Amino acid sequence: MNSTLEKTTGISGLVAKYKDLPGGLLPLLHAIQTEIGYLPDSAVPTIATGLNLSRAEVHGVISFYHDFKTHPVGRNTVQICRAEACQAMGSRRLEAHAKQTLGINYGETTADGNISLEPVYCLGNCACSPSIRINDDIYARVDTERFDDLMSGLLIEEGASK
Amino acid sequence: MTFYIPQDTTALALGADSVASALQAAGIEPVRNGSRGMFWLEPLLEVATDTGRIGFGPVTANDIPGILDALEADASSHDLYLGPVEEIEYLANQQRLTFARAGQGDPLCLDNYQALNGFKGLSKALGMSGQQIVDQVKDSGLRGRGGAAFPAGIKWQTVLDTRGEQKYIVCNADEGDSGTFADRVLMEADPYQLIEGMVIAGLAVGATQGYIYLRSEYPVAHRLLNIAIERAVAANFLGDNIQGSGKTFHLEVRLGAGAYICGEETALLESLEGKRGMVRAKPPLPAIEGLFGKPTVVNNVLTLAAISSILEQGAAAYQNFGLGRSRGTLAIQLAGNIKRGGLIELAFGVTLREVVEDYGQGTHSGRPIRAIQVGGPLGAFMPESQWDTPMDYEAFAAIKAMIGHGGIVVFDDTADMAAQARFAMEFCVVESCGKCTPCRIGSVRGVEVIDRIVANENRDNNLILLHDLCDTMEFGSLCAMGGMTPYPVRSAIKYFPEDFLLKDAGQGYK
């Protein structure tokens, strides 16, 4: 984990990089989140000063978009598509199963910090539903069994990296 | 022999990478093409042989040794053999204009793009005046493919006629409707076509900067677009002095952040400016005061992509497809509970039933189809009595349905339409930008009222209340989010009243 000081330095560097880009706030927030994993409250004043915005404006943008997280998330983010095409193929059953087996709700992280569960509204994979996304990979035709396999895969990777 | 295995999101989601690895293990380096859009066959392995390109699908890594053996002897003896890919009925019966190149080769290969007529439209446009280009687009009859179906040429004319030192071309690639993926397929299979269309748009209206606003749910498209832009710049199809013409056009991809409302053009512009994606009141039109207050063309991916073929083949060739005021081709996306889901590009006028039964071959579950939702989460649920409606903007509008971006989501007879109506309201709760009350509060109340109706709590009065609420949302909201959420709700009640425990649609409900 980065120390607070390192985080602040990293954020200042990114602010410097994006401050003159027209409409640069979203790219900046994405960059910080990619770097640190979330958008810490302590970053808001630095961003506001750098982009000549009020803290309220920065906070307003962060809170508007589903992608931006203000708290640390799990090492893996699992998104389950809740949109209609996936519903037509049983995603309601899949999401109930996911919540039950992982023991968490949407917006929560497993106690071991391995998996955060999020809803998503369409991954554009609607001809082969239900779909889920794990980090940057999308999986098609995910029934409960395949979901369990994919989750055990994440646990094995976790074990291997230790 | 050349082997092709797609790098399209759906193909990857079904294991295309492991098929590619199996080929590599056998000493074969496959071309990573885009998808043909026949998703029920993905991963679709294509092999260019002396007698043309043949296909196998859907393949897994385990099938590779067997396929390689069959290729040595008699390819057609293999169980997964599909014959010549372009003769597969699903594809052969389509009228591919925008998706003509999709799946043919490496989407990032510039030579391949040019060999397949790429940049011919641009080179013609470089020799024309802005007005001449706009006239071509007007004559083609092209209407915006994002959903609102506004004539593209008229929008362009407004931007051309508006004075401004800086103008912008913005591509709306925030394809958020469930059941749609045509923009994604285009960007992943043929990104240069979009780039070419945007450069032409820039030349037409005098804009030198373009942005592709891409949803963050499309990581593969994001990666491919960035590489394509980099290569187009290196080859001088983007940047300063394009192909020695003295014309300039710069292009950048900007990533959204998971807000459905940013597919609405004014919310998209706010988001591009680095703000909350709040819908703007119109007027002023974005064509007059758009991005950063400057004249801006905002068009969908498919609209801009169609431009290159219109310029290349002429407006009349495009106009020849379609019927009435719906000209050209429509990218139909067949999704949900469907046996053969995928992308189907056809001239306007095919009926919903033909698409679902002939192309789709019915449901994936094998059960009867009950409802079809066309046009995304704001589109009506259509019962069987409406499936013979031709797919044309006006015919759909006449029955209070919409084609939108062309997504078709099929539900079988296990679907609970009251739950779907409730979801429509719930989705609006989650995705409303919050600017106007009918949408922000109305959707919350909508969920509650539907819950009461289903629980048989004072049902008759609650139905009247829901009807009133739908009126308020439809007529009192600033944009289609709140304004059209009532469409799926009302159609569910009207055509599937038994799911709301009603005796008939007329009871307590107009």
In chain A, domain spans: 4-64, 76-161
Answer yes or no: is B508 within a domain: no
Name the minimum distance, in Å, from the CA of A130 to any CA of chain B.
Answer: 8
A84 and B420 in contact by Cβ < 8 A? Answer: yes
Instruction: Examine the fold and report which residue of B319, B334, B369 is the final residue of a domain before the chain moves on.
Output: B319
φ/ψ of B417, rounded to 5, equals -70, -25
How far is B90 from chain A, CA to nearest CA, in Å?
Answer: 14
Q: What is the mean pLDDT of residues A85-109?
A: 97
Instruction: Tell me if A87 and B423 make a contact (CB, 8 A cut-off).
Output: yes
For residues B45 and B181, state if they share a domain.
Answer: no
Residues of B in Cβ contact (< 8 Å) with A23:
254, 272-274, 292
Is A86 an 8 Å CB contact of chain B?
yes
Contact B181/A128, CB-based, under 8 Å? no
Query: How confident is the model over B302-327, as pLDDT tens digits?
Result: 999 999 999 999 999 999 888 888 88
My answer on whether B278 and B149 are in the same domain is yes
Same domain, B293 and B339: no
Interface A:B, Cβ pairs < 8 A: 149
Residues B16 and B158 in one domain: no
Position B396 in a domain:
yes
Q: How far apart are CA B214 and CA B210, in angstroms?
A: 13
Q: Kindly list the distances between the CA atom of residue B504 and the CA atoms of B120, B368, B494, B495, in Å, as whole numbers in the listed order.
A: 58, 22, 8, 9
Q: What is the predicted pLDDT for the residue at B147?
A: 84
At B508 the pLDDT is: 43
**What integer pLDDT is reported at residue B510 of this predicted model?**
36
Residue B293 forms contact with A (CB below 8 Å): no
Q: Which ipTM score applies to this complex?
A: 0.94
Domain boundary residue, one of B319, B346, B375: B319
H/E run at residue A161: helix A144-161
- Domain assignment present for residue B104? The answer is no
Same domain for B135 and B262? yes
The CATH number of A76-161 is 3.40.30.10
What are the pLDDT digits (tens) for B193-219?
999 999 999 999 999 999 999 999 999
Pair (B298, B339) in one structural domain: no
Is residue B102 one of the residues assigned to a domain?
Answer: no
Q: Judge whether B506 lies within some domain.
A: no
Q: Residue B384: which CATH number?
A: 3.10.20.600
In this structure, is residue B292 part of a structural domain?
Answer: yes
Q: Report phi then psi at B109, rounded to 5.
A: -85, 110
Q: Is residue B97 part of a domain?
A: no
Both B328 and B290 in one domain: the answer is: no
- B216 domain residue, yes or no: yes
- pLDDT value at residue B509: 42
The count of residues in chain B is 510
Name the strand (E) or helix (H) holding B397: helix B393-398
Supply A145's token pair.
């069994």
Q: Which residue of B has its CA nearest to A130?
A: B336
Residues B137, B268: one domain?
yes
Question: Per-residue pLDDT for A1 more than 50?
Answer: no
Can you give the residue range of the structural domain that contains B214? 110-319
- Among B44, B66, B92, the domain boundary falls at B92
Residues B283 and B163 occupy one common structural domain: yes
Number of domains, chain B: 4
Q: Which A residues, 101 through 160, put their C-beta within 8 Å of a C-beta on chain B?
A: 120-129, 131, 133, 136-141
- Sign of the Cα pseudo-torsion (B184, B188, B193, B199, in order): positive
The proportion of chain B whose per-residue pLDDT surpasses 90, expressed as a percent, equals 95
